Amino acid sequence: MGATVGALLLVLAGAVPGAQAAPTGPTVAASAALRPAAAAAPHAAAAVPGTVPSEARPAPVPRATGPGDTPTRRPVTRCSDISSEDGWVSRARVVGDLLVDSGICALSLVTVTGDVNVLPGADLFRMDDSSVKGDVRVADAHVYLLDSKIFGGVVVDSPDDPVEAYSVQVRRSLRGAARTLNMSSSTIEGAVNLRLGEGTSTFFYSRVGGWVNTRGGDVWAVKLDAGRGVTVTVARTLSLCGGSIALDATVRGVTGFVDLGGDAGVWGDEEPCAEPAPLGGSLVLDANPAERISVARLAVAGNLVCTGNARPDGLVVHPTVTVAGTRGGQCA
């Protein structure tokens, strides 16, 4: 990857606020240069009240199977009851749900067999090389995920806090509100539906199996593979470079600039923008107040439709764009 992209990754992937260094011990290895520097996590295998060491594998929580039976209630463990003074839980298996009610809850080499619920009043929920078998629900907290798996979905209601995911797999969808979303080398098998606040949200070398729908913020993507379509609404800026989109892409209400394909001076001619990115449906540019809209290096299988953009003189479709269908409106 070129120097420009590499430098940007280092800037965006800054230190995690609020996370203190864990007690001295073996570190959780960082497997990719894209992730930010992170504090080492404790790996002591001492038993923690409310948890079962990972070596012991208890039978799953029993479920009701007959008509009229009531499902067995899952146990709930508070992170504050089992963590160290600085918020770490290490090398443990939490049976049932995990409740994060205050401060920092940082998991290292931990399995949670149920859901994770982060309540208002918590500051940071962090996962290092850990897994959650259910869903993660977060209210008003910073979410930092590293080398981890979530077998359910993620719901965030944190308009003033960021969500960060580095080498992470989420089996279902990510939805809600966050200040920013920063993804790198990660996969969300469902959709992304987010309201974004001030700041730059990034999708670097990541895959989303469903639709990507964002509203607000600044949205920048390098090598994003979208298994359905992409809709970006009322963003301040938008930059998409490389990757692929299986269905339609709609850009509406962007106020600053739109750079599709990397020809607007944002990424230049560096990889990964050099090759045309496939778009399996149509590209719609509608009602964008942006002074500058640049479309380049796209292979559009459907139509190219441009309507109601405030500055048609600032709308440029470069010769590197191919359109199998028709070109309409301001792009005719």
The domain boundary residue, chosen from 136, 151, 178: 178
The domain boundary residue, chosen from 154, 178, 202: 178
The domain boundary residue, chosen from 150, 178, 206: 178
204 lies in the same domain as 297: yes
107 lies in the same domain as 195: no
198 lies in the same domain as 321: yes
The closest alpha carbon to 135, from 118, 119, 116, 120, belongs to: 116
Domain that holds residue 227: 180-332
200 lies in the same domain as 283: yes
Q: What is the pLDDT of residue 98?
A: 98
Q: What is the pLDDT of residue 270?
A: 57
| Angstrom distance (rounded) from CA 51 to CA 59 | 14
| Per-residue H/E/C for 102-150 | CEEEEEEEEEECCCEEECECEEEEEEECCEECCCEEEECCEEEEECCEE
Model confidence over 213-251: pLDDT tens digits?
Answer: 999 999 999 999 999 999 999 999 999 999 999 999 999
Q: What share of the chain is helix, strand, coil (3-state, %, to 5)?
A: 5, 40, 55
Q: What is the pLDDT of residue 274?
A: 80
Residue stretches of the chain with pLDDT short of 70: 1-72, 263-272
49 in any annotated domain: no
Q: What is the pLDDT of residue 108?
A: 98
166 lies in the same domain as 203: no
130 lies in the same domain as 257: no
Q: What is the pLDDT of residue 276?
A: 87
Q: What is the pLDDT of residue 271?
A: 61
Q: Check: pTM over 0.85? Answer yes or no.
A: no
160 lies in the same domain as 202: no
Q: What is the pLDDT of residue 264?
A: 58
Q: What is the pLDDT of residue 168?
A: 99
CA geometry: angle 166, 168, 174, nearest 5 deg: 105
102 lies in the same domain as 191: no
27 in any annotated domain: no
Q: Which helix (H) or strand (E) holds 207?
A: strand 207-208
227 lies in the same domain as 81: no
147 lies in the same domain as 244: no
186 lies in the same domain as 156: no
172 lies in the same domain as 192: no
Model confidence over 8-67: pLDDT tens digits?
Answer: 444 444 444 444 444 433 333 333 333 444 444 444 444 444 444 444 444 444 443 344
